[in-house]
Structures are given as C-alpha cells and as structure tokens.
Amino acid sequence: MSSDKSSSSDGDPEFMTTFTEVDYIRSPTPLSTPSTPESLENRPSAGQRLIDDTEEVPTEPIPNASPTPNSFLEEVRSEQPSSRSVHEDSKSDTLNSAEVSESGDGPLSSVVDSATREVMKDTPLAISEVERDRSECSRCEHYGIILEQEGQILQLTEERDDARRRLEALKNTKTRLVDRVAFLTELTNRLQRELEEARATLTREAMNSAEVVVLREQLGLAQEEAQKARKAIKRLPAAEEELTLLRHASRELQEALASRSEECSRLRAELSLAKKITSKMVTRNAELEAAHGKSQALAEDQRMLQEKLANALA
C-alpha cells in the first residue's frame, strides 16, 4: 500500500511541474528579458505612455508632453529673426557662442565651436545660423535622452511584470508545496499507524508462539501421564485381585484383633486381680515387718533384762 502511494507521488505530473517551476525560479536570470519579434512588435513606440487596453486614450493634447521633431522644426521656423535683428544681435550671439564653446556642453560642442570660429570671419548672418543649428542639436540631444529614459522605463516595466509573474508562480508553488506537505504528513501518520499495528501483531504472534511452546510442553507431560494411566489401567485386574486378597487379610486381621482384644480384656481382669492380691501381700509384708521389728525390740529388751538379772545375781 505504501509502495503504491510512493510510486504514484513519484509519477505525479503536477508534482514534477511544481519542482520544475521552483528550479526555473531559482535559476539566475537577468533582470532584462531578451527582445523577441513579438515583444518588439507589441512594444510601444518612443514617447508613448504605457496604458491598459481597456483605458480610454485621451485625444486632447497632453500638457507638459515631450516635444516631437516636427514641433521642434515649427518652433525654430517661428523663432527665426529678421535680418535686421540678426545684425543687431550678432555681437551678443558671438559672445554667447564663445561662452558656450568655453563651457563645452553637449556632444557636438567641439565641432560647433570650430565651425563658429570659421563662420565668424565671414558674416554675422552665418553666425546666427550656426547658433540656431547648435540649439537644434542640443534639443535633439535632449529628445534622445528622453527617448533613452522612456526605453529604460519600458525595460523596468517589463522587469516589474516579470517579477510579478515570478511572484505569482512562487505563490502557486508555495500553495502546491503546502498541499504536498499536508499530503505527505497524512501519509506519514498513516504509515506510522500501520507500523504500530504491525509491531503489535508481531508482538501478539511472538506471545502466541511462546504460549504454543508452553502448551506443547504441557501436552508432552499430559501424554506421559496418559501413558502411565494406560499402564495402570492394564495393571488394574491384578490390583483388584490384590485388593480382594487384602480385604480377606484385613478381615482375618480384624477377627484376630477381636480375639486378641478379648484376651486382652481377660488379661486385664487377671492383672487387676493380681494387682489386688499384690497390694494385699504388700500390706501383709508390712505387717510382718512391723511384727518382726517388735519381736526384735522384745528380744533386745529380754537380753538386757537377762544381763541385768545376771548382774543382779552376781
């Protein structure tokens, strides 16, 4: 059962997909995604804002919007001064161009400075045209910086979307991993219960085997006793004959005992009579001894009297 579960979990396509996504997320990827034909086609043009498809695009002019090249040209054409104003301001323009050349701002400053020095030798009108071209170049440079910043914004937006997609993938992976951990925990608990049941079964089987050994020993002892009982049963007729003989012998012994008891009673009666006669004889002997003592005392008295008589006669 546990082997089937493990094989099913190993072959689970969802499980394999989860770890594939994890490996993809863990792999070091650059922040900027490579450009593809589809991404370049769907990428908004320079100077255009990133908007949602469902958002309504305003048709009115946007305030403070980035200028376009056409607007630059129109603005330059509208700001062209008359020849008289150019001649009047030639001296100031020359000073300004000198200051600009000394500052050295912009990528075309060196070229414009050399061209300005050459044109200054000709006419003041050429100087004003060079300055005008230089201002246009600076505006173009500013417009290029704006385009570069918008490109960076687009790139950062793509990286943000990519990070959001990765975060969503991580969340999905986390959810799947949590579900997988819960499933593995339940499977572990079930396997633990089965292991405990198997241990209990083995313990019961071991106890049953020990009881079987004891019962076998008891069965062997019972078989030995049964054999002894069979042998005793076989000897039972001889034992019955012996019992009958013993019964006859006990009867004879009882009769002999009865006769002996009668003799004992008769002997006891004779013994009591002999004791009475003995007691009388003892009494008579005591009397005889007393009489003998008296006779001896009389004899002694008689002897003393005879001695006194003899003394008296002497």
Q: pLDDT above 70 covers what percent of the chain?
A: 56
What tokens were used for 59?
């048709």
pLDDT tens for residues 67-81?
Answer: 444 454 455 455 444
Give Cα separations from 27 to 169, 171, 184 (angstroms): 14, 17, 26
Nearest to 181 by CA among 9, 1, 2: 9
Q: At which residue do the structure tokens 């002694």 appear?
A: 300
Residue 185 confidence (pLDDT) above 60: yes
User: What is the DSSP code (8-state) at residue 46?
Assistant: T
Domain ranges of the chain: 142-208, 229-312
- Which residues are within 8 A (CB) of 314 and not within 5 positions of it... i.e. 6 or more apart? none
Nearest to 131 by CA among 159, 106, 167, 154: 106
User: What is the DSSP code (8-state) at residue 11?
Assistant: T
User: What is the DSSP code (8-state) at residue 105?
Assistant: -
Q: What is the pLDDT of residue 56?
A: 44
- The answer to which of 9-23, 136-150, 274-288 has the lowest mean pLDDT is 9-23
User: What is the DSSP code (8-state) at residue 44?
Assistant: P
When computed from its CA atoms, the radius of gyration of the chain, rounded to whole angstroms, is 75
Q: At which residue do the structure tokens 């600009």 appear?
A: 100
Q: What is the pLDDT of residue 133?
A: 67
126 close to 112: Cβ distance less than 8 angstroms: no
Higher pLDDT, 39 or 173: 173
* CA 65 distance to own-chain centroid: 64
Q: Is 26 exposed, middle or buried (0-12, 13-18, 19+ CB in 10 A)?
A: exposed
Looking at every residue in the chain, the average pLDDT score rounds to 70
Whole-prediction pTM value? 0.27
What count of other Cβ atoms lies within 10 Å of the Cβ of residue 176? Answer: 17
Residue 171 confidence (pLDDT) above 80: yes
pLDDT tens for residues 209-246?
Answer: 888 888 888 888 988 888 888 888 888 888 888 888 88
Q: What is the pLDDT of residue 214?
A: 87
